[in-house]
Amino acid sequence: MSFINYAQREINCKIVYYGPGLCGKTTNLQYIYNKTNPEAKGKMISLATETERTLFFDFLPLSLGEIRGFRTRFHLYTVPGQVFYDASRKLILKGVDGVVFVADSQIERMEANIESFENLRDNLQEQGYSLDKIPYVVQYNKRDLPNAAPITELEEVCNPKRVASFEAVATKGVGVFDTLKAVAKLVLTELKRGG
C-alpha cells in the first residue's frame, strides 16, 4: 500500500524481495546499502538468527529522487526464505507495492525455486493480491556458479508470465541495481495508472 503524503510531499512505496532460502535476497539489500550515498539511505536493519539467516525481515529505506516536487521513498524488505517461516512471509507481504522474486540459479535449487514461487503466489492471494496485477520482476542470482542452470530452464519454472528478468551475481553487484530500477519503475507506473 503506497502512502502519498501531500503535506510532506512524499510518495512512499514498499518493495519485497522474495525467494527461497540462501538465494541472495539479503545480499541484494546489502549491496544496495553499500553502494548508495549516505543521504539517500537510512539504516539497514536485519532481524537475523545468530547464524545470519533472516529471521523476520531485512529493511532498507531508500530515497530515489523527486518526481514533480514529491520525494520518492522506497522501503525495501526481504522475507525469510526458509520454508518454516511462512507466517512471517505473509506478514511482510502486507501492503506490498512491488515484488522482486530472487531465484537461485543453481540446478540443485530448482525445486526450492518452484516451491518459493508457488508460495509467493499463494501468500499474495491470501492478502487479496495477484501475480497478474502486482508489479514484479524476476532475478536469476548466482549466475557465476558452475552449476547454474540455463536461463531458458529457469524462465520456464520461475517466470511463466515472462515479466522482466535479470541475471545477477548479487555478491559482486551484477544486476542488483538493474533489478531494483525495473521494479521501482513498474511500481511508479502502476501508481500512476491507479491514481
Q: What is the 3-state secondary structure (H, E, C) of 127-148?
A: CCCCCCCCCEEEEEECCCCCCE
Q: Is 172 in the site for another protein (CB under 8 A)?
A: no
Q: Is 190 in the site for another protein (CB under 8 A)?
A: yes
Q: Is 154 in the site for another protein (CB under 8 A)?
A: no
Determine how β-strand 3-5 pairs with β-strand 10-18.
antiparallel
Q: Site size for another protein, by CB under 8 A?
A: 46
Name the residue nearer to another protein (CB basis): 65 or 146: 65
Name the residue nearer to another protein (CB basis): 7 or 146: 7
Q: Is 192 in the site for another protein (CB under 8 A)?
A: yes
Name the residue nearer to another protein (CB basis): 67 or 145: 67
* Ranges within 66-85 binding another protein (CB under 8 A): 66-68, 70, 72, 75
**Residue 86 burial (CB count, 10 A):** 13
Name the residue nearer to another protein (CB basis): 121 or 185: 185
- Which bin fits 162, alpha (ψ -120 to 50), beta or left (φ > 0)? left
Name the residue nearer to another protein (CB basis): 88 or 171: 88
Q: Which of 47, 83, 107, 145 binds another protein (CB under 8 A)?
A: 47
> In 3-state terms, what secondary structure has residue 102?
strand
Q: How far is the CB of 193 from another protein (least distance, A)?
A: 8
Q: Is 14 in the site for another protein (CB under 8 A)?
A: yes
**Residue 15 burial (CB count, 10 A):** 24
Residues lying near another protein in the complex (CB under 8 A) are found at 1-8, 11-12, 14, 42-43, 45, 47, 56-57, 59, 61, 64-68, 70, 72, 75, 87-88, 90-92, 94-95, 97, 128, 181, 184-185, 188-192, 194-195
